[in-house]
Amino acid sequence: MKNILLIISFMTFVTIMTSCNNDATVHPPLTEVRVLMAEVTADSIISPAGFTSQITKSLGSGPLNFIDRDSVVVALSYRGTPGNTSTYSLEIWDSTSAISHREIYLLRSVDVTTGLRTETFKAKSDRANGYYFYRMTASGPTDQSFYIYDLRLYKE
């Protein structure tokens, strides 16, 4: 009887010790499920002829946590006036780079038309907490406008 108790105790001890993980590194599970991190329902910029207008705004109300995901997904609809002479009508970036900001999405002004377009773009995530921003720019010899609708930032 004493031997059986000793064997059971030993097996319990071995089971407990083998199930313990001494690795302090956190390995978050990766998933393909999109999680909405920030959203802009609508925004616009208008520039009078011969002038440049630019606005920069934050996406979200603080740092966004992408530690547990490999991808950043940008989904939006946009339209504007053709003839915008700025290089980009829309830029989206984050603050995760140690040197400067990291561009996530660039919409060239030549791609903007008066018709509503919808895009979804996927970029690699730095798997870090970071602040996310967007900038809209309009300029040209004639009045210029640029509109975004349903801008959404997801982690995936």
**CATH code, domain with 109:** 2.60.120.260
In whole angstroms, give the CA distance from residue 94 to residue 63. 10
Given the DSSP bridges, would you call strands 129-139 and 88-94 parallel, antiparallel or unpaired? antiparallel
Residue 7 lies in a domain: no
pLDDT band at 146 (very low <50, low <70, confident <90, very high): very high
Residue 3 lies in a domain: no
Residue 26 lies in a domain: no
For residue 29, pLDDT beyond 90: no
pLDDT tens-digit map of 10-25: 566 555 554 444 444 4
For residue 5, pLDDT beyond 50: yes
pLDDT tens-digit map of 64-96: 998 898 899 999 999 999 999 999 999 999 987
Residue 46 lies in a domain: yes
Q: How many domains does the chain have?
A: 1
In whole angstroms, give the CA distance from residue 142 to residue 49. 4
What predicted TM-score, i.e. pTM, was given to this entire model? 0.76
> What is the domain extent for residue 65?
33-155
